[in-house]
C-alpha cells in the first residue's frame, strides 16, 4: 500500500535543562501511521473511528520503540503528552497529518555520548525520512534521519 509518493516526517526537538529533557513534536501522514499501527500489532487503528485514549496508548507504544534518546548506555524515559489530527478541510491531493507531542526525560546521572534514534515508519517505507529541527541554547540545526542514518549524535549539555 502506497497512498502517496512522499514519505517524509517533520518535527522539532527542543532541549531543556532543568530538568534535562527533550521536548518533541513530530508530524506524520495519518494513513502512514494507521498502517504502522496495524503492522505493529495494534489492530485497525483509524483516527476517525477510535477514541483518543486508545490511539494515545498505541501511539505511545509505537513511538517508544522507534524514537530513543540515549546517554551512553542509558535510555531516556518517554513521557507522552498526546496527539492532534488536522481537523481543517484537506485540500485536493493533500494528506491529513497527525501531530505527536512527547518528552524524553534524561536518565539519572546521564553520561557518555548522546544519540537520538528516529526510525519510525522505516519498517514500512524504504524511502521514509524525517527532517527535524533541533533547538538548543547554542542555536538550531537540522537533523535528517533515513534508512542509512537512523541515529544522530547530539551535543546536548548534560547535568
Domain boundaries, the chain: 8-154
Contact criterion met (CB below 8 Å) for 66 and 118:
yes
What is the Cα–Cα distance from 41 to 21, expressed in whole angstroms? 29
How many CB atoms lie under 10 A from the CB of residue 154? 19
Q: pTM for the full model?
A: 0.90
Which residue shows C-alpha cell 549539555?
A: 157
- Whole-number pLDDT of residue 157: 64
- Does residue 1 have a pLDDT over 50? no
pLDDT in tens, 73-120: 899 999 999 999 987 655 545 578 999 999 999 988 777 788 999 999
Amino acid at each position: 500500500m502506497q497512498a502517496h509518493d512522499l514519505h517524509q516526517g517533520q518535527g522539532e526537538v527542543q532541549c531543556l535543562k532543568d530538568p534535562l529533557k527533550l521536548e518533541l513534536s513530530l508530524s506524520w501522514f495519518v494513513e502512514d501511521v494507521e498502517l504502522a499501527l496495524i503492522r505493529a500489532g495494534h489492530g485497525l487503528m483509524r483516527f476517525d473511528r477510535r477514541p483518543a485514549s486508545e490511539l494515545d496508548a498505541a501511539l505511545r507504544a509505537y513511538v517508544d520503540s522507534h524514537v530513543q534518546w540515549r546517554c551512553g548506555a542509558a535510555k531516556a524515559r518517554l513521557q507522552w503528552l498526546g496527539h492532534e489530527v488536522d481537523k481543517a478541510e484537506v485540500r485536493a491531493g493533500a494528506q491529513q497529518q497527525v501531530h505527536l507531542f512527547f518528552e524524553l526525560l534524561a536518565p539519572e546521572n546521564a553520561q557518555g555520548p548522546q544519540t537520538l534514534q528516529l526510525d519510525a515508519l522505516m519498517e514500512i517505507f524504504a524511502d521514509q525520512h524525517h527532517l527535524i529541527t533541533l533547538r538548543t541554547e547554542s542555536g538550531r540545526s537540522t537533523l535528517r534521519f533515513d534508512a542509512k542514518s537512523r541515529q544522530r549524535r547530539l551535543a546536548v549539555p548534560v547535568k
